[in-house]
């Protein structure tokens, strides 16, 4: 029994010591630098995109947007809540739009303005 403890205890300690190093060694998602610069809360970020779908009931729009440099976001497709539900009625899939978004909660962005692209 003592031999078993003599082997298991050091092995368990070695595993515990190396876990943080193994966890920290995970590669980042290429092109997905989502870390926003400091002080972005409340700031309006301007962007351009194409409407994929509109959900008036849920006040959401799904967009394929260009890169948003002020947020360090690459181009991607995602859904956003919209602060003005009435403005959604004018949007159609395939339509090019200009929009502004702001952080409402930590990490949650809401479109505060959306218009057909000029």
Query: Strand 45-55 relative to strand 60-65: parallel, antiparallel, unpaired?
Result: antiparallel
Report the alpha-carbon distance of residue 82 to residue 18 in Å, rounded: 45
Which tens digits make up the pLDDT trace of 18-74? Answer: 666 655 555 555 555 555 444 455 689 999 999 999 999 999 999 999 999 999 999
Ranges of H-type helices in the chain? 2-24
CATH of domain 45-116: 2.40.50.320
Domain boundaries, the chain: 45-116
Q: Answer yes or no: are the C-beta atoms of 51 and 61 closer than 8 Å.
A: yes
* Strand segments (E) across the chain: 45-55, 60-65, 76-82, 96-105, 108-116
Reduce the DSSP state of residue 70 to 3 states and report it. helix
Q: What pLDDT does residue 67 have?
A: 97
pLDDT at 112: 95
Is there a contact between 24 and 66 (Cβ–Cβ < 8 Å)?
Answer: no
Reported as a single tens digit per residue, the pLDDT across 83-118 is 988 889 999 999 999 999 999 877 889 999 999 998
Backbone angles phi, psi at 87, to 5 degrees: -65, -15
Longest dimension (CA), the chain: 78
Mean per-residue pLDDT, 1-26: 66
Query: Is beta strand 76-82 parallel, antiparallel or unpaired with respect to 108-116?
Result: parallel
Q: Provide, rounded to the nearest whole percent, the portion of the chain with pLDDT above 90.
A: 54
Confidence at residue 7, expressed as pLDDT on a 0 to 100 scale = 73
């Amino acid at each position: 029994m003592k031999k078993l403890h003599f082997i298991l205890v050091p092995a368990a300690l070695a595993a515990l010591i190396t876990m943080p190093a193994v966890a920290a060694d995970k590669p980042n998602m290429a092109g997905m630098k989502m870390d926003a610069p400091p002080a972005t809360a409340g700031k309006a970020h301007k962007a351009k995109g194409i409407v994929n779908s509109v959900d008036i009931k849920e006040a959401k729009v799904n967009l394929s947007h260009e890169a948003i440099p002020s947020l360090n976001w690459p181009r991607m497709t995602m859904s956003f809540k919209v602060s003005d539900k009435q403005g959604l009625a004018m949007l159609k899939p395939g339509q090019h739009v200009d929009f502004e978004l702001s952080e409402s909660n930590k990490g949650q962005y809401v479109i505060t303005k959306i218009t057909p692209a000029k």
